[in-house]
Amino acid sequence: MATLKGAMRSYGAAVRRMEREQQRQARESAKRFKEQQKLQEIENAQQAVLDWENYVDTIQSLHKNCTEPIDWQQIENTEKPNEPKKENKNEVVAKNRLDNFKPSFFDKIFGSTQKKINRLTELVEKAKSKDKTEFDLGYKQYLDELNNWKELQEINAGINKNEAKYYKKALQYFNPFSDIGELGTQISFNFNENHIDVDLHVNSLEVIPDYELKQTSTGKLSKKNMPKSRFNELYQDHICSASMRIAREVFAYLPVDYARINALSKLVNTKTGHLEEQPILSVIFPPETIDSLNLETIDPSDSMQNFVHNMSFSKTKGFSIIEKVELGKE
pLDDT value, residue 330: 45
pLDDT at residue 6 greater than cutoff 70: no
The pLDDT-based confidence of 328 (bands split at 50, 70, 90) is low
Distances (CA, A) of 302 to 115, 177, 222, 315: 86, 25, 30, 14
Domain ranges of the chain: 60-67+180-330, 69-175
pLDDT value, residue 12: 67
pLDDT at residue 153 greater than cutoff 60: yes
pLDDT at residue 329 greater than cutoff 60: no
pLDDT in tens, 15-56: 677 777 777 777 777 777 777 888 888 888 889 999 999 999
Burial of 282 (0-12, 13-18, 19+ CB in 10 A): buried
Note the residue count of the chain: 330
Instruction: Give the CA radius of gyration of the chain.
Output: 37
- Report the alpha-carbon distance of residue 47 to residue 43 in Å, rounded: 6
This prediction has a pTM of 0.77
pLDDT at residue 274 greater than cutoff 80: no
Range in 18-32, 167-181, 239-253 the model is least confident about = 18-32
* 134/26: higher pLDDT: 134
pLDDT in tens, 255-266: 999 999 999 998
Helix axis angle for 113-160 and 164-174, nearest 10°, is: 140
